Amino acid sequence: MSASTSSPATRILGLASAAGMALLLLFALVLSPADVVQEETVRMFYVHIPTALMAFTAFFVTVGASIGYLVKRTEWWDVTAGASAEMGAVLLAATLISGALWGRVTWGVYWTWDARLTLTALLFVLVLGYLAVRRLPVDRDQRARLAAVVGLLLAPTTIACHYATTWWRTLHQQQTVTTTDAQMDGLMLFTFALGMVVFALIYAWLTIHRFRILWLEHRVEDLGLDVAIAERRREAEATEAPAVAGGLR
Amino acid sequence: MLLASVSNATEEHRFQWTLVLLCWSTVLVALGALVVRTVQRGRKLARQVPEEQRRWM
């Protein structure tokens, strides 16, 4: 069996993600119609919204796992929080890039200091800070505790970011798809739903792999520590042996 | 005038498609790079850890 972070379940998830992405590209770029108002740019909707919503989901998983760590103090919760935050950061970066390109064609600018955009940028900086805390060269428990506390800050920022268009007057448009009114129909709604499923699969697939990588990093750290302790013992024994021999003489 | 309007419409259409394709390709490249990096890092780390500590295998 090859040494990797794969398992039968992740292989199935990976294949489903790849097949789903191919199907999504077909629907988003070829089969779904252009919008009456937004014309061809509506095709960015099928990547921008799913990446944003999955990034928010990832941050909520991080918040939940951070609470789990603070309560249970087990490695599993800490690693889950870290893996989900890594995926959230990548998905949020994708959201910012796709949003900037969509903004250029809709508003005429790549960026504006609108409440939604500013909060998204703040959230991105916050998650980068969280990931930086996870790399601090301190004791693992201390690092995990600190990361869990910083992880909790993602909750209010994510909520404010999600509801920014409702709470404040923003240039960014209001929610298009709500639970009570989709404001879309037919192929467009199907393509959006497919996008949500595909990005959820990608999130699940890569988060499992990122979890295993963080888990392995801890094991390598432990092995390194064991080797260092064994080396120190050997060094101490080697220096003690001549001294003992000298004392006997 | 009609020709100019058609030309402008085509130019606008091309501009929109350029941004749409740029948007999708950026996201796909970012995700692809993450997948490659994740697989490589996973393999490298898994080789350093005994099999009994890789509980998913």
pLDDT tens per residue across all 249 residues of chain A: 568 888 899 999 999 999 999 999 999 999 998 888 778 888 999 999 999 999 999 999 999 999 999 999 999 999 999 999 999 999 999 999 999 998 888 888 898 898 889 999 999 999 999 999 999 998 899 999 999 999 999 999 899 988 888 887 777 777 666 655 656 778 899 999 999 999 999 999 999 999 999 999 998 888 877 777 878 888 888 887 766 666 555
* C-beta atoms surrounding A214 within 10 Å: 19
The 10s digit of each residue's pLDDT in A21-79 is 999 999 999 999 888 877 888 899 999 999 999 999 999 999 999 999 999 999 999 99
Which one of B17, B31, B55 makes the best mutation probe of the A interface by having the most chain A beta carbons within 10 Å? B31
- Cβ–Cβ below 8 Å for B46 and A216: yes
Rounded Cα gap, residues A110 and A75, in angstroms: 41
* Nearest residue to A97 via CA among B28, B17, B26: B26
Q: What is the pLDDT of residue A225?
A: 72
Rounded Cα gap, residues A50 and A28, in angstroms: 12
Residues of B with CB under 8 A from a CB of A: 13, 15-17, 19-20, 22-24, 26-28, 30-31, 34-35, 38-39, 41-43, 45-49, 51, 53-54, 56-57
The neighbouring-strand residues paired with A35 are A39
* C-beta atoms surrounding A187 within 10 Å: 12
Q: What is the pLDDT of residue A130?
A: 96
- Please answer whether residues A83 and A147 qualify as being in contact, where contact means their C-beta atoms are separated by less than 8 angstroms: no
